[in-house]
Amino acid sequence: MIVETCDLPAHELVRRLKQGEITAVGILESTVARIDAVEGRAPTTAPYQAEAMDQEKIHAYITLTLDRAHEQAQAVDRALEAGEDPGVLAGVPISIKDIFCLRGTPSTAGSRILENFISPYTATPASRLEAAGAVTLGKVNLDEFTYGSSNESSAFLPPPGNPWDPKRVPGGSSGASAAAVAAGESTISLGTDTAGSIRQPASFCGVVGLKPTYGRVSRYGLIAFASSLDCPGPVTRDVTDAALALQVIAGQDPYDATTAAIPVDDYLSGLEKGVAGMRIGLSPDYFRLRYPDPETGELQEQPVAPEIAAAVRQAAAILAEAGAEIVEDVAMPNTQYGIPAYFVISRVEAASNLHRYDGVKYGLRYEGAVEDMIELYQKSRGQGFGPQPKLRILMGMYVSAEQYEKDYYQKALRVRTLIRRDFETAFDPQGDHRLDCLLTPTTPTTAFEIGRVYGDTVLMQYADLLTVPANHAGIPGISIPAGLDSLNLPIGIQLLGPDFSEAKLLRVARAYEMATDAEAWRKGKPKVLEAT
Amino acid sequence: MEAFETVIGLETHVQLNTLSKIFCACKADSWGDPANSNICPICTGLPGVLPTLNRAVVEKAVLLAAALQADAIQDLSYLARKNYFYPDLPKGYQISQYNEPLARGGCLELPLPDGSVRVVGIEKLHIEEDAGKTIRQGDRRLIDFNRCGVPLAEVVTKPDLRSADEVAQYLIRLRQIVRWIGVSEGNMEKGQMRCDANISIRALGSEELNTKTEIKNLNSIDAARMAVQAEIERQVEEVREGGAIHPWTLNWDDENNTLFKMRAKETEADYRYFREPDLLPIRLVSSWRGAILEELPELPLERRARFIEAYRLPEYDAEILTEERSFSDYFEDALAEYGGEAKTVSNWLMNDVLRLIRERDVLAAELRLRPEHLAEIIHLLDDKKITTNIAKELLDKVQESGKAPSSIVEEEGLSQVSDQAALRKMAEQVLADNPDQVATYRGGKTTVIGWFVGQIMKQSKGKANPQMVREILEELLAN
């Protein structure tokens, strides 16, 4: 089987580049050819009419920045020729979720209201990637302002398709990031994770998605959704690439007061040291979905998809084989409150974060005649925001209103503390479990069909039930591929660890990756690539 | 007629004089700069930006809280978002502090003209960012974002003020303190201090708090006094006529000296405050607090009392000498150099040095006439080496040249002329030149001698010893 350049992981590209086997321009050309083959028509905000072809294509990129990419690739090749160090990500094609500001590019957040906003500055993690030699191909699609788990809420349509079955969603909100990495349209993508927005699409698309500890990676330049939960992180082909990318983007930033002063670990040197002696937990609370019925408030319960549960148990067996100790029955009782608490906290912050889009300074302004300023606000925001931002503003304003905030916002913050406490107990080195990490399914199901869930905001939100606790607690999590289900759709498993334990999570993930290297499912190819 | 008492509380915004803004690196003070010249992605709230707190803002605010004798400067306080829509508020929320402010409690003492002291309680002090400025041009609104992110300390009083004059006194004293401790220039005309007044009235003796009105954005002490007085009179008249006070928000029109209604505030706006997730809590660890408070100087009223006590100065002198810190430092330095009567130095400061300061619009500390120069001049005078006139001229000459007084006296030959023979010769000449005046004197109008003294002082360029001149003239005219 011939592997095309654009399908290689970043560490392999960099190795070959430094050996002189390939050039950065060559890598770029291979990737651009792949984009031409699988991308399909460009997503726009024009009235959307679905076409048959749309169901076969990826539609990942809102904006391609090929001129920028060519300049960067040529600079890498020149540096190599001159014997200079071109950086640890030299020549690696990357895509940036269009929630990050990138100087001189439209930075749209997938919304009409920012369709014409050209950022005058670059987000810290994006500039760190570029400074390490990465080649920026463009800005990829997402749910509008990251509000969703399927990418269907973007104002830029057609929506991205899942490379394994383009009739299905790639997940969200970093859906096009995961789709682009899976389909060879970029080697690494910079995503964001507020409730699972990196891990869930990584799981749906069969790639690796890492949500770092809150404060590990700067949020400067990330167009905010829920400021206390948002985390930038990489979507990659494999675990080594995730370590490589995190190494580049992690660390304190004078422009983000919430970044931690704690030194960044070396994520690569211990990556393959294995899991001998590690304590890895399984929790029954991550094998069932418990949630209050939106109508009655009664607690409902459903198991996660059996094939996914089986993949997790299989992974536990593999890790046990590799020397880890599996700790069963770890109680995580507050997991079930993760989504309701998230509904409240994220929407209060989101409504406030969206205040600045008023049509006065930048972005969409209503063109027609208005009576006064208030009408200008109403018309501009009414026209600029899609249904998801509107719903979140409504709910955010409601639960933060003076007469309700004690019952909702303050209570949700207390729930958040309880969720954090579940993890602290599980990871406590003096506690009953003394876990190094927790092994869970990433998602309750594999990728669902476009149009099947969209419209049911509550149901859609439950796609994040198993990922959102990490955001509440601020801890790191990683989703890695762990097989294919009967529909040939990727299954993801998740590892969650204590604050700043990324090195350890990556090590466990890499151990699993090495142990399953020869598995038949690893040879599986996304459907869109079958024709190529 | 029923007697009323006025209840007033003030919210004063003090612009802290940090170099950069509160959450970004832009220059904080834009006075005189073109619109939108000190702005960046952060203070204009572009998508994706984050604030980072300027520590100097906390330090200056802590110092102010200490100077206002805060009961509690908090170890832990939080910034919060105050959400509202306005075009000159680029993020759609103001980063402020809400129910977890930097400091609580405290007081400001106002010595009143009748000798009593009104102690005004301070409710709280918090830090926040300023918004921009909307300029109306016909039916267009232009926005200047320079002020966005300018650091402010908001000082909220208890409802302890009782009259428009007390409001003015409060502002004068607060301005004195912020300048004294060096946290703000406190110049209201430049917007460095702005004040909102909450006003209600009640029957004298009542403890009730009635419906209040709020006057926004008072930007001079005179405006504050006039606006508050006008509103008190309006409320009294309204109630006397059987009307009710409504919770209006009012503005003061500086041009026409009238109040006008901004909006009827029937319900409190809901700002949906919540803790700012983009910033860490402000942790005032003890080493930091200690380092800040080490900078707290002796405060004006303390110094005023000490001057009266230690130097036996009249209250009037002590008040003027402690109006401004570097002036009072100047006084003490000059007195230490001089070593003589405090009142003598005080007289020189209150009259002549203050004139120099005002003419040149500088601080005492910026004068080239240093305290030791002043002390030297007073010594020269005491030793009768120069005349009073020369002493006063010397002040200006030292200020202009920066040279020591004694060397100027030397170089310019300004020593007092006490040579009997020389003075006698000048006197004889003057008498000879003015026979009419001599006749007048001898005719009984002896006050004309002053005119002769003046002539001789003029001829001697002020150097003649005026006492000796007078004696010689008296002697000559008697003959």
Cite the active site residues of A.
97, 173, 197
Contact by Cβ (8 Å): A152, A450: yes
Same domain, B71 and B198: yes
Does residue B288 sit in the same domain as residue B305? no
- Residues B280, B144, single domain; the answer is yes
Contact A358 B278 (CB under 8 A): no
Of A114, A356, A409, the CB nearest to B90: A356
CB atoms closer than 10 angstroms to residue B240: 11
- Nearest to residue A344, comparing CAs of A387, A389, A392, A390? A392
CA atoms within 13 A on the CB side of A297: 0
* Residue A419 scores a pLDDT above 70: yes
In B155-214, the residues whose Cβ lies within 8 Å of chain A are none
pLDDT at A69: 98
**Residue A337 within any structural domain of the chain:** no
User: What was the pLDDT predicted at B268?
Assistant: 64
| Record: contact B270-A401, CB cut-off 8 A | yes
pLDDT tens for A466-480 read 999 999 999 999 999
**Does residue A423 belong to any structural domain of this protein?**
no
Cβ of A107 and B48 within 8 Å?
yes
Domain closes at, from B276, B292, B308: B292
For chain A, positions 169-228, list CB contacts with chain B under 8 A.
Answer: 219-224, 226-228
Mean pLDDT of A500-506: 98
Position A462 pLDDT exceeds 90? no
Given CB atoms, is A401 within the 8 Å cutoff of chain B?
Answer: yes
Give B280's contacts in chain A (Cβ within 8 Å): 257-258
Residues B26 and B129 placed together within one structural domain of the fold: yes
Q: Are both B271 and B387 inside the same structural domain?
A: no
- What is the model's pLDDT at position B267? 57
Q: Which of A342, A346, A356, A404 to mutate to test the interface with B (most CBs of B within 10 A)?
A: A356
**For residue B89, what are its two tokens?**
């508020």
Last residue of a domain, one of B240, B259, B292: B292
Tally of domains in chain A: 1
The verdict on residue A177 lying in a domain is yes
Res B264: pLDDT: 57
**Are B278 and A258 an interchain contact pair (Cβ–Cβ within 8 Å)?**
yes
Does the pLDDT value for residue A485 go beyond 90? Answer: yes
Looking at the structure, tell me whether residues B258 and B388 fall in a common domain: no
Beta strands B282-283 and A288-292 are: unpaired
Query: CA angle, corner B29, sides to B24 and B33, nearest 5?
Result: 110
In a domain, A102, yes or no: yes
* Same domain, yes or no: B378 and B425: no
b or e along A493-513 (b: 16 or more beta carbons within 10 Å of the residue's beta carbon)? bbbbbbbbbbbbbbbbbbbbb
Confirm or reject contact between A100 and chain B (CB < 8 A): yes
pLDDT in tens, chain B (479 residues): 678 999 999 999 999 999 999 999 999 999 999 999 999 999 999 999 999 999 999 999 999 999 999 999 999 999 999 999 999 999 999 999 999 999 999 999 998 888 889 999 999 999 999 999 999 888 888 999 999 999 999 999 999 999 999 999 999 999 999 999 999 999 998 999 999 999 999 999 888 888 999 999 899 999 999 999 999 999 999 999 999 999 999 999 888 889 988 865 545 679 999 999 999 999 999 999 999 999 999 999 999 999 999 999 999 999 999 999 999 999 999 999 999 999 999 999 999 999 999 999 999 999 999 999 999 999 999 988 888 888 999 999 999 999 999 888 888 877 777 677 788 888 888 888 988 888 888 888 888 888 888 888 888 888 888 888 888 888 888 86
Our CA-based measurement puts residue B178 at a distance from the nearest CA of chain A, in whole angstroms, of 29
Q: Determine the structural domain holding residue B329 and report its residue range.
A: 300-412
**Separation of alpha carbons A5 and A12, rounded Å:** 9
Amino acid at B428: E
How confident is the model at residue A491, as a pLDDT? 98
pLDDT for the residue numbered A1: 60
Q: Which residues of A touch B87 (CB under 8 A)?
A: 358, 360, 373
Structural domain containing residue A167? 5-269+510-530
- Does B44 reach chain A within 8 Å, measured CB to CB? yes
Q: Give the residue carrying structure tokens 């009142």.
A: B343
State whether B166 and B241 are in the same domain. yes
Would you call B93 and A352 a contact, using CB atoms and an 8 Å cutoff?
Answer: yes
Phi and psi for A83 in degrees, rounded to 5? 75, 15
Q: Kindly state the average pLDDT of the residues A387-394.
A: 96
Average pLDDT over residues A330-358: 96
Which pLDDT belongs to residue A139?
Answer: 98
Pairing of strands B140-144, B133-137: antiparallel
Query: Are B162 and B132 found together in one domain?
Result: yes
Strand partners, A484: A490
Q: Using CA atoms, how far apart are residues B334 and B344, in angstroms rounded to an integer?
A: 11
| Residues in Cβ contact with B310 at an 8 Å cutoff, skipping those fewer than 6 apart | none
Asked if B55 has any chain A CB less than 8 Å from its own CB, the reply is no
Is B285 within 8 Å of chain A by CB? no
Q: Which residue has the higher pLDDT, B231 or A455?
A: B231
- What six digits make up the tokens of B161? 């003020």
What CATH number does residue A29 fall under?
3.90.1300.10
| CA distance readout (Å), A58 to A108, A161, A170, B224 | 19, 5, 9, 65
Do B361 and B428 belong to one domain? Answer: no
CA distance B47 to chain A (A): 5
What are the C-alpha distances in Å from A169 to residues A159, A237, A324, A339, A486? 8, 19, 35, 21, 17
Q: Is there a single domain that holds both residue B191 and residue B214?
A: yes
To the nearest whole Å, the CA of B172 is away from the closest chain A CA by: 37
Does A479 reside within a domain?
A: no
Which chain B residue's Cα is nearest to A120? B41
What pLDDT does B442 receive? Answer: 86
d(CA A461, CA A470): 15
Question: According to the model, what pLDDT value does residue B410 have?
Answer: 81
DSSP states of A35-50: HHHH--SPPBSSPP--
Please identify, among B357, B390, B412, the residue that sits at the C-terminal boundary of a domain: B412
Q: How many domains does chain B have?
A: 3
In terms of domains, do B408 and B310 share one? yes
Q: What is the DSSP string of B213-226?
A: EEEEEE-SHHHHHH
Q: Could A349 and B277 be called an inter-chain contact, meaning their C-beta atoms sit closer than 8 Å? A: yes
Question: Does some domain include residue A116?
Answer: yes
Interface with B, mutate which of A117, A355, A404 (most B CBs under 10 A): A355
Asked whether residue A309 is assigned to any structural domain, the reply reads no
B32 CB within 8 Å of a chain A CB: no
> CA–CA separation, A122 vs A136, rounded Å?
12
- The answer to whether the CB atoms of A356 and B272 lie below 8 A apart is no
Residue A158 domain flag:
yes
Interface test with A, best of B22, B49, B148, B263 (most A CBs within 10 A): B49
Digit-coded pLDDT (tens) for A264-314: 999 999 999 999 999 999 999 999 988 877 788 888 898 999 999 999 999
Task: Note whether A231 and A217 are within 8 A (CB).
Answer: yes
